[in-house]
Amino acid sequence: MDRDKILLTPGPLTTTLRTKLAMLRDWGSWDADFNAVTASVRNSLLGVIHGHASHVVVPLQGSGTFSVEASVATLVPRDGHVLVLDNGAYCKRAAKLTTMMGRRVSVLACDEAAQVDPQTLAQQLKADPSITHVILIHCETGAGVLNPLQAVADVCAAQGKGLIVDAMSSFGALEIDARKTRFDALIAASGKCLEGVPGMGFVFIRKAVLDACAGRSQSLAMDLYDQYVYMEKTTQWRFTPPTHVVVALHEAIAQFEAEGGQSARLARYTANYQTLIAGMARLGFKPFLDPAIQAPIIVTFHAPAHPNYDFKTFYAAARARGFILYPGKLTQIETFRVGCIGAIGPDEMEQAVHAMGLALQDMGIASATPA
């Protein structure tokens, strides 16, 4: 096969040639040209959420999880109390890192096959006034659930609680409008729906809470307040930036805007999702989630009931045909996941379904019907 393997994962993603080519040049981290690229990226990111009036954006080196950890350390006071809405693996990660940041944590557990419940959240906040902040994973890619951001934001606003949103796999594809949805911090990353490469996170912080963040973080490198102040003062990053990642994101954003922005990207990913669901149904695969709560980002499928089925064998057969799948993240039942995002369209999704059909044939499985 003469093309790169297509990544059907929730990030890193398949990127365009233009995005790859942007990384062929070396940049000086203090150079005015690179600082201008950083400024352009920050300005464009604020535009995606209509956040120029209400928020600032702070980029940070590392994976998205670095930025989640940095957000908790920067936004939550040392004596704060965080409530994590938990319906999946990334929610559990948020709770763990919050504990490790030395902040008090409570967890509101939900079914991983269901959305988090805003009414239960409201009851919990009334029952425990010591809670200062709520963490929500917008799209919990452990199973693929789309959580109700607006309803959760409304509950937090009504009760005067800070809301920290992990929008890692939703930002750029699903609508997030800071003019109507109140959040103290919203976190995303370069290697997701903007179709850049991994290596940089970014956090939108509400201007009204920014000044109170000074001195809260116990980390030097991950203090978002210091990163913001330094960037505003000098136009530079405090420490060595991921220069190639930043310029690749700059190029990816140009393509994002040319495509038509968030609404166009959502339309393409939705077409990918619909193509995938229809094709997998023909093979006998059954999605794990109710379509009403499924985000068009990544889909969890039940493993076939056939005794010949083994994920590693299935994965290797699909990989040999040019497609990289993702293992399941659920603990109770066997599943695997297929991403719908990246620089791909319905044609590639059809090819992926065909590759998975051939993989089943290799394994002697006539139908992928689950148990």
By the 8 A CB rule, do 300 and 289 touch? Answer: yes
What pLDDT was estimated at residue 332?
Answer: 82
Three-state secondary-structure class, residue 309: coil
Three-state secondary-structure class, residue 140: strand
Question: In which band, very low, low, confident or very high, does the pLDDT at 331 lie, cut at 50, 70 and 90?
Answer: confident
By the 8 A CB rule, do 197 and 15 touch? Answer: yes
Angstrom CA distances, 264 to 258, 261, 292, 333, stand at 10, 6, 21, 35
Q: Is the pLDDT of residue 76 over 80?
A: yes
The amino acid sitting at 84 is V
**Sign of torsion, CA 219 220 222 223?**
positive
Percentage with pLDDT > 90 across the chain: 97
What is the rounded CA–CA span in Å between residue 227 and residue 327? 36
Contacts of 23-29 with CB under 8 Å at 24 or more apart are 23/197, 23/244, 23/245, 23/247, 23/248, 25/247, 26/243, 27/243, 27/244, 27/246, 27/247, 29/236, 29/237, 29/240, 29/241, 29/243
Question: In which band, very low, low, confident or very high, does the pLDDT at 104 lie, cut at 50, 70 and 90?
Answer: very high
What is the average pLDDT across 105-112?
96
What pLDDT was estimated at residue 141?
Answer: 93
Domains and CATH numbers, the chain: 6-10+261-362 (3.90.1150.10), 17-258 (3.40.640.10)
Question: For residue 265, what is the enclosing H or E element?
Answer: helix 261-283
C-alpha closest to that of 103 among 74, 127, 128, 126: 74
Q: Which tens digit of pLDDT belongs to each residue from 264-301? A: 999 999 999 999 999 999 999 999 999 999 999 999 99
Q: Which tens digit of pLDDT belongs to each residue from 62-71? A: 999 999 999 9
Q: Which tens digit of pLDDT belongs to each residue from 211-233? A: 999 999 999 999 999 999 999 99
What pLDDT was estimated at residue 2?
Answer: 52
264 is written with which tokens? 């166009």
Q: Which tens digit of pLDDT belongs to each residue from 6-46? A: 999 998 999 999 999 999 999 999 999 999 999 999 999 99
Supply the mean pLDDT for the chain. 97
Convert 72-88 to b/e letters by CB count within 10 Å (16 or more is b). Answer: bbbbbeeebbbbbbbbb
What pLDDT was estimated at residue 217?
Answer: 97
Q: Tell me which DSSP letter residue 87 carries.
A: S
Q: Which tens digit of pLDDT belongs to each residue from 160-203? A: 999 999 999 999 999 999 999 999 999 999 999 999 999 999 99
Q: Is the pLDDT of residue 330 over 90?
A: no
C-alpha closest to that of 235 among 227, 243, 245: 227
DSSP assignments along 204-240, one per residue: EEEHHHHGGGTTT-S-STT-HHHHHHHHHHHSS-SS-
Question: In which band, very low, low, confident or very high, does the pLDDT at 329 lie, cut at 50, 70 and 90?
Answer: confident
Q: Which tens digit of pLDDT belongs to each residue from 113-134? A: 999 999 999 999 999 999 999 9
